[in-house]
Structure 1
């Protein structure tokens, strides 16, 4: 079965051209061209121009701070000019998909992270500098935040894949390895960050063993919705919004994910079918977490829409 068809892509394009930030519009053009546009057939957009990574990278640079971090709503739930570690994964996503995660860009990010790393080698999701600015109620700002796997795992994984060499990466890898080995009671976003790290961990035998153990935890703790028609069979994690379930594709967004063996073909198919069916009338996908601000919801939906399309396309390509 093909998940991403011309109709889905055209509708999603219309949504992105209407509602996307410059960053998401540039990323959509990079991945999918001008789908959903109404260009003059006699003068169509040049696909090579749209696929130029300079566009997404220029848009990303607008979110950088002088010290090498990222702020200004790059991560829509994190507002204000004070850079935060939880915004870094969004930046790395753009850098990795455009082939730009290397050299000075990677070094500046690692240097920025080094200055915000706790003694155990990881980084917290947010820093006390976020406190003066608007933020969601589910994002507390402690005075002395601890490092966590949720942020560190998402950050170090693409840096490992890129082959970047920096002292921060070695320390962060050790932190994530220890955190994964001691993970017991968990929640979907943390488990997802663990999978992200395991996909890039240098010790592949260790990563496979830990992925099997983590998969057992996820299923035993019922923090994955295996049948979208029966949400009562999954446990909603504490503090999550109603309906904020994770499905198999959230853990395995690509077929080569370490989480893919956790699920049967039928379970994965049901999740992907549910994802495809979530496309809204306006062409975009909805957010699933708490809607604490109309503005942040509007800014988050384009990124969620791109993630849905990329997930569906990745599983299409594996089936081809």
Structure 2
């Protein structure tokens, strides 16, 4: 910031600012153990770079998981709400503009689910919005045509009559079922997801992640387990998961992905309870988590591996990725500090 002259009440020097929970103390200085922990380094990164929503999420997940912290997350999320019950305004950083989009709404539902607030009248409004965004087959397109005219990633083209996609529909349907939300929209959308998952022959990692999100929440558990078993064999046969992070050249990058945009065991099995956890041996999972832990960068954040197309989207995405990396490591029993 440009200097504007002397101030009658100068800003205090940094050594007199109270600790923000990153291992520093105005009296004793940094605590070596705390200052070097993954959590402390990530916290510094989040305060430095994140949107208010991710700052509030970090506080909820890693500092104060109480009702007041959850209320603060909800308040921050409300800024992205649209009049039709959905979400927009760049909530999913690769889509800009004020219109509701399935990917924004899916993102919002994941946030609400993570703070145990995925219910109530809000969900009725969300489901009405999902109904309005759906295709004739009752599924969600990846990008609704209303996005036309607003900035969006070049790998997310806007078309006039988009098909329904497992990529956008699966995570939403699975999450709503897991939270025991019932709405007329879910019936056809669930049938779409079952047909899409059970007919997969050749896929790519993001589609597989969407299928896992659906199967992890699907009410028919025997059917979900059978579908997941088949999907796991497909993942291994098509080498969609890089099982040896030290030999990434042995694993192909899917068409259209950024160079080096590999996916790993932890990307599919984000929690030990996921059906995808059975796809990987204990040794493979440990190598994957070791790699994830090593990916934390010098500034404390984790990298974005997908293709970047604008500076703001990259900046906004990294805190989201960082929070999810910490949550994944912790869920699998890794110490984060």
The match for 1:230 is: 247
In structure 2, C-alpha distance between the alignment counterparts of 1:185 and 1:103, rounded to whole Å = 38
- Note the C-alpha offset of 1:317: 7.1
In structure 1, C-alpha distance between the alignment counterparts of 2:155 and 2:256, rounded to whole Å = 7
- Which of 201, 204, 217 is the matching residue for 1:200? 217
The match for 1:93 is: 110
**Segments ≥4 residues shifted beyond 2 Å:** 47-52
Kept after mapping to 1: 8 A contact 2:35/2:41: no
The match for 1:11 is: 41
- Which of 170, 185, 189 is the matching residue for 1:172? 189
Moved more, 277-286 or 6-15: 6-15
In structure 1, C-alpha distance between the alignment counterparts of 2:67 and 2:50, rounded to whole Å = 16
In structure 2, C-alpha distance between the alignment counterparts of 1:81 and 1:250, rounded to whole Å = 30
- Note the C-alpha offset of 1:119: 2.2
Q: Which protein, 1 or 2, shows the higher relative CO under an 8 Å CA cutoff with sep ≥ 6?
A: 1
The match for 2:304 is: 287
- Provide the TM-score with structure 1 as the length reference: 0.91
Kept after mapping to 2: 8 A contact 1:89/1:154: yes
Structure 1 residue runs without a partner (length 5+): 34-46
Q: Which has the larger radius of gyration?
A: 2
In structure 1, C-alpha distance between the alignment counterparts of 2:36 and 2:110, rounded to whole Å = 25
Q: Deviations over 1:108-148 (max 9, x none)?
A: 11000111212222110111111201111111111100000
Q: Does 1:126 align with 2:139?
A: no
- 1:138-287 equivalence runs, <5 A: 138-287=155-304
- Provide the TM-score with structure 2 as the length reference: 0.87
- 1:77-88 equivalence runs, <5 A: 77-88=94-105
The match for 1:37 is: none
Moved more, 181-190 or 6-15: 6-15
In structure 2, C-alpha distance between the alignment counterparts of 1:301 and 1:116, rounded to whole Å = 28
Count of residues paired in the alignment: 302
Kept after mapping to 2: 8 A contact 1:195/1:251: yes
Kept after mapping to 2: 8 A contact 1:157/1:200: yes
Kept after mapping to 2: 8 A contact 1:29/1:50: no
RMSD value, Cα: 1.7
Q: Deviations over 1:158-177 (max 9, x none)?
A: 11111111001122111101
Q: Does 1:111 align with 2:128?
A: yes
Q: Deviations over 1:43-94 (max 9, x none)?
A: xxxx476862110000000000111111111000011111110111210111
- Note the C-alpha offset of 1:273: 0.5
The match for 2:19 is: none
Q: Does 1:63 align with 2:80?
A: yes
| Distance change >3 Å, CA 276–CA 5, structure 1 → 2 | farther
Structure 2 residue runs without a partner (length 5+): 1-33
In structure 2, C-alpha distance between the alignment counterparts of 1:276 and 1:178, rounded to whole Å = 36
